[in-house]
Structure 1
Amino acid sequence: MPSAAERTRTLVQSTCSAVLLVPGLSVVHPDELMPDSRSLGPEGELFLGFPLGSPVARAAAAAQGDGLTAVLEITDVAPVSVPHRIRGRARIAGRLTAVPGLAGPGRTTLRLETAEASVDDLWGFEEVEPEALRDAVADPLVAHEAELLQHLHSAHSEQMTTLSALLGDREKCGCAEHRLGAVPVALDRFGLRVRFVEDGSACFDARFEFPEPVRDISELRRAMHTLFEAASC
């Protein structure tokens, strides 16, 4: 399974929504707290992009000494329609300072020095050491995961349903009126997580591991072919 640090870094580098919370800072519109770019630096720090006149940017520029205390909260929502759609959250806290000279006109870059981090997702809750976050590598499928899950759901729904054959006793009787609905809910280099829906309401997740971790889309196609082939036997 991916480590907690890898899962956190993957969320940072994903397109998930995020808000930067600064104690005592109030805004009129919540989207004023949402960075429009984010990346991790070589020491595990986060670089966040904001408009120059945003409340967060003004607060960071006016801060004295070591900057402000701030928390970046990332919310991961499944890109397909599925019960219980929020897949997880990551939290990164530290000191916030302005970094002059990195952004273009009308823009500013803020640096969040990571002091503590945690992730609470489909794997569970874990704290992440700043050094582990610094050294982690994002999942190689992160840039394509949303599109891939949407494609599996829309173009391969019948094949997704056949995966219930790999569930053993949980599959029920297999007759049409009891057939489980199957929605791909998460994908990484190690495998595919599917949410099976029973009777239109109750649901449970099953994880299908690939024979070996995939490194790119080409290897993913082969792994998915192997998975569907096993389900059809």
Structure 2
Amino acid sequence: MPSAAERTRTLVQSTRSAVLVVPGLDVARTEQLIPDTRGVGPEGDLFLAFPADSPVVRAATHAQGDELTAVLEITDVAPVSVPHRIRGRAWISGWLTSVPGLTEPGRMMLRLEFGEAYVDDLWGAENIEPEDFRDAAPDPLVVHEAELLQHLHAAHGEQLRTLCGLLGERTTETFSAHQPAAVPVALDRFGLRVRFVEDRGACFDARFEFPEPVRDVGELRRAMHTLFEAASH
């Protein structure tokens, strides 16, 4: 399974919704707290670009040598329609400074020096150590995950339902005679998570591991083919 550090690094470097909260800073609109871009430096610090006139930029510039604490809050929502769509949240807290000259005119780059992080997602809740976050890499499928899940949901619903047969006795015990709907809810290099949903709204997740971790979409296609083949027998 992906480590807590990898899952958090994946969320930071994805398109998931994120806001930068600075204690004591009042803003007119929550949108003013959303960074334009997010990245991670070689030491594990976060680099967040904001409009130069952003309240967050003004606060960081005004603080100068003082320590200005901030928290990047990320919310991960499934890109497909499914019960309980929030897949997880992550919080990265640290100290905020402005870094002039790292982005184009009209914007300012802020550095959030990594202090501590916490993730609470489909895998569970864990703290992340700075060195683990620094050394982790985002999942290679993160840039394609939303599109891939939407495609699976729209075009391969019948094949996804066949995966229910791989669950053995659990399916018989949990569901009635009719076959539940199967919604692909998460995808990473290690496997696919499917949410099986009954008419009355009862649901549970099942994780289907790939024979070996995939490195790109080509390897993913082969892994999915193997998975569907196993379910059809």
Q: TM-score range by the shorter chain?
A: over 0.9
Alignment match, 1:118:
118
Alignment match, 1:137:
137
1:39-188 aligned at under 5 Å gives the runs 39-172=39-172, 178-188=178-188
Alignment match, 1:210:
210
User: Structure 2: which 5+ residue stretches go unaligned?
Assistant: none
Once the two structures are TM-superposed, the CA of residue 199 in structure 1 deviates from its matched residue by 2.4
**Distance in structure 1 (CA, Å) of the matches to 2:176 and 2:74:** 40
Once the two structures are TM-superposed, the CA of residue 178 in structure 1 deviates from its matched residue by 1.5
Identity of aligned residues (%): 74
What secondary structure sits across from 2:192 in the alignment? strand
Alignment match, 1:34:
34
**Distance in structure 2 (CA, Å) of the matches to 1:152 and 1:64:** 49
What secondary structure sits across from 2:164 in the alignment? helix
What secondary structure sits across from 1:178 in the alignment? coil
**Distance in structure 2 (CA, Å) of the matches to 1:222 and 1:122:** 25
- What value does the CA root-mean-square deviation take over the aligned residues? 1.5
Alignment match, 2:201:
201
Moved segments of 4+, more than 6 Å: none
Once the two structures are TM-superposed, the CA of residue 107 in structure 1 deviates from its matched residue by 0.4
Retained in 2: the 8 A contact 1:149–1:186?
Answer: yes
Q: Tell me the amino acid that sits aligned with residue 119 of structure 1.
A: V
- Bigger drift between 9-18 and 66-75 goes to 66-75
Retained in 1: the 8 A contact 2:99–2:109?
Answer: yes
**Distance in structure 1 (CA, Å) of the matches to 2:196 and 2:157:** 12
1:214-233 aligned at under 5 Å gives the runs 214-233=214-233
Retained in 1: the 8 A contact 2:195–2:206?
Answer: yes
**Distance in structure 1 (CA, Å) of the matches to 2:59 and 2:24:** 10
Cα deviation, 1:47-90, whole Å, max 9, x if unaligned, reads 00100001001111100314410000000000000000000011
Once the two structures are TM-superposed, the CA of residue 172 in structure 1 deviates from its matched residue by 2.5
What secondary structure sits across from 2:35 in the alignment? coil
- Bigger drift between 121-130 and 191-200 goes to 191-200
What secondary structure sits across from 1:20 in the alignment? strand
TM-score (norm 1): 0.97
What secondary structure sits across from 2:84 in the alignment? coil
User: How many aligned residue pairs are there?
Assistant: 233
Alignment match, 1:14:
14
Q: Tell me the amino acid that sits aligned with residue 8 of structure 2.
A: T
Retained in 1: the 8 A contact 2:64–2:97?
Answer: no
Once the two structures are TM-superposed, the CA of residue 177 in structure 1 deviates from its matched residue by 6.0
Once the two structures are TM-superposed, the CA of residue 169 in structure 1 deviates from its matched residue by 1.2
Retained in 2: the 8 A contact 1:66–1:97?
Answer: no
**Distance in structure 2 (CA, Å) of the matches to 1:83 and 1:38:** 29
Q: Tell me the amino acid that sits aligned with residue 210 of structure 2.
A: F
